[in-house]
Amino acid sequence: MGQKILFEKIHIPGIKTYDVYRENGGYASVEKALKMNPDDITEEVKTSGLRGRGGAGFPVGLKWSFIDKKSGNPRHLVCNADESEPGTFKDRYLMEYIPHLLIEGMITSSFALGANLSYIYIRGEYMWVFKTLERAIKEAYAAGWLGKNIKGSGYDLDLHVHCGGGAYICGEETALIESLEGKRGNPRIKPPFPAVKGLWQNPTVVNNVESIATVPWIILNSGEDYSKIGLGRSTGTKLFSVSGHVKKPGVYEIEMGMTVDEFMNSDEYCGGMIDDRPLKGLIPGGSSVPILPKHLIFKTANGEDRLMTYESLSDGGFATGSSLGSGGFIVYNDTACIVRNTWNFSRFYHHESCGQCSPCREGTGWMEKILWRIENGQGTEEDIDLLWSIQAKIEGNTICPLGDAAAWPVAAAIRHFRDEFEYHVRFPEKIKNRDHFVNEPFEKVKHLLQNTTV
């Protein structure tokens, strides 16, 4: 049993309520932090090696140290609870079952940053979680952990939850800030970075729910203790939200450094493949990261064990690796159709592109249409190359990383599963009933491709 940091107390009955949370040692980190020097807290977080859990993996302490304290403008901490990445549902679990942990983290972190007005931006679809958080915040105000002169320390903090309108793009930190300001959620062009000019042009830090919820533990123990957990530069524990063809989908907290094999096949975690069917592919970090084919899941290209760390999952770059992303662990068995899955992702990005910059606005729609054609047996051989060319033209040419996130899954699918695309193009009659691969796994029909020439 690995160490639990976020889920340590999650199974205590009634932990959702303030009283139970407090009885179980809740808000102790705030008590400790208020007696510390804010910069020392930032130092602790830096030492911990905690990396942002929202997807980019940027060190949290380092981000905090960039916040502009000299300008004298008010500072803000914004918690990114927009969690809309397909395959990722870890933040919801935390907020739903142990909301006070996030609030405690928000107070401690806001104190470290010297922020007196902080926000939690939650996606609109999480309405019931929004209500849970509101209730918890009310309790925290009543108990004196929020508001003016918290526990006699002279520190003031107001915390609000803001509900988004249901756009994936509002999870991008600058779009989130725009949306919070009441504008259309278009990402801003960086620089300036939020740490200098963020919410209402004030210095702002945006962090993921999981990142912030980890801070109380780091303060209560120490940054050094945290850095001892995990492996190398991937310190601490990480939540993975597992979905797809495994026996036990769900949210798991693991110490980083476990092998992918153990995570997927041990009974404590995913419990192996459902119906014991063969594995086909794995997306380790949410829909935006490249899919890994069977032979690259448990071993990296140079034969080492693939581990659940930032470094190991991205080993081999995009050619033979993927990325830890936001921890949305999606497993596919041999009944899954990679073409349809890629189309489905493309459909998502097409729908969610904000439309601000041309390559993403036009490219996502174009890719979706082509993938739809291929998936429905109307594609041509050239369409596969066309798709490749389009994704390459989107990647890197856009304002925000959504463009890249739309391009990578398509690129990886073609890179590793080109034969499935070819199968769709060459045998339209085989796929016309939409049940291909369910009755007839691709491995069994793959040989047909060898008999065709283009």
Partner 1 sequence: MKVTIDGIEIEVEPGTTVLQAARMIGGDVVPPAMCYYSKLKDTGGNCRACLVEVSKGSEADPRPMPKMMPSCKTGVMDGMEVKVKTSERALDARKAVTEFLLINHPLDCPVCDQAGECDLQNLSFKHGLEKTRFKEEKRTFEPENIGDKIQLHMNRCILCYRCVHTAEQVCGSRNHGVLNRGDHAQISTYVSAAIDHEMSGNMIDVCPVGALTDKTFRFKSRVWFNKPFDAHRNCDKCCGKTTLWMFGNEIQRVTARKDEFHEVEEFICNECRFDHKEVSDWVIEGPRKFEKWSVINQSNYTRKMDKVVIDTEKQILEGRDQDRKKISMKEVPYKTSEK
Ligand X SMILES: Cc1cc2nc3c(=O)[nH]c(=O)nc-3n(C[C@H](O)[C@H](O)[C@H](O)COP(=O)(O)O)c2cc1C
Does the footprint of partner 1 cover residue 184 (CB under 8 A)?
yes
Tell me which stretch binds partner 1 (CB under 8 A): 91-99, 116-124, 203-211, 391-399.
391-399
Query: Which of 44, 139, 173, 375 lies at the binding interface for ligand X (CB under 6 A)?
Result: 173
Residue 449, token pair as written in the block: 């491709």
Does the footprint of ligand SF4 cover residue 353 (CB under 6 A)?
yes
Q: How big is the site for ligand X, counted in residues (CB under 6 A)?
A: 26
Note the residue count of the chain: 454
Does the footprint of ligand SF4 cover residue 292 (CB under 6 A)?
no
CA 443 to chain centre: 32
Does the footprint of ligand SF4 cover residue 205 (CB under 6 A)?
no
Residues in contact with ligand SF4, shown as a per-residue x/- string from 374 to 413 under the rule CB under 6 A: ------------------------xxx-xx----------
Nearest in space to 170 (alpha carbons), one of 119, 226, 111: 119
Query: Which of 142, 189, 319, 448 lies at the binding interface for partner 1 (CB under 8 A)?
Result: 189
Tell me which stretch binds partner 1 (CB under 8 A): 70-78, 139-147, 324-332, 349-357.
349-357
3-state SS track over 259-305: EHHHHHHCCCCCCCEHHHCCEEEEECCCCCCCCEEHHHCCECCCCCE
Which residues make beta-bridge pairs with 161? 120
Q: Is the peptide bond before 191 cis (omega within 30 degrees of 0)?
A: yes
Contacts to ligand X from residues 174-213, by CB under 6 A: 206-208, 211
CA distance 314 to 328: 15
CA distance 29 to 151: 13
Does the footprint of ligand SF4 cover residue 283 (CB under 6 A)?
no
Tell me which stretch binds ligand X (CB under 6 A): 100-108, 125-133, 168-176, 387-395.
168-176
3-state SS track over 163-185: ECCCCHHHHCHHHHHHHHCCCCC
Smallest gap from Cβ 378 to partner 1, in A, equals: 10
Answer for the pair 358, 390: CB distance below 8 angstroms, yes or no.
no
Name which of 84 and 312 has its Cβ closer to ligand X. Answer: 84
Answer for the pair 135, 56: CB distance below 8 angstroms, yes or no.
no
Does the footprint of ligand X cover residue 411 (CB under 6 A)?
no
Answer for the pair 357, 399: CB distance below 8 angstroms, yes or no.
yes
Summarize as ranges the residues that interact with ligand SF4 (CB under 6 A).
169, 187, 353-357, 360-361, 398-400, 402-403
- Give the interface with partner 1 as residue ranges (CB under 8 A): 167, 169, 184, 189, 350-359, 361-366, 369-370, 386, 393-394, 396-399
**Residues found near ligand X in the complex (CB under 6 A):** 52-56, 58, 60, 63, 80, 82-85, 168-169, 171-173, 206-208, 211, 400-402, 405
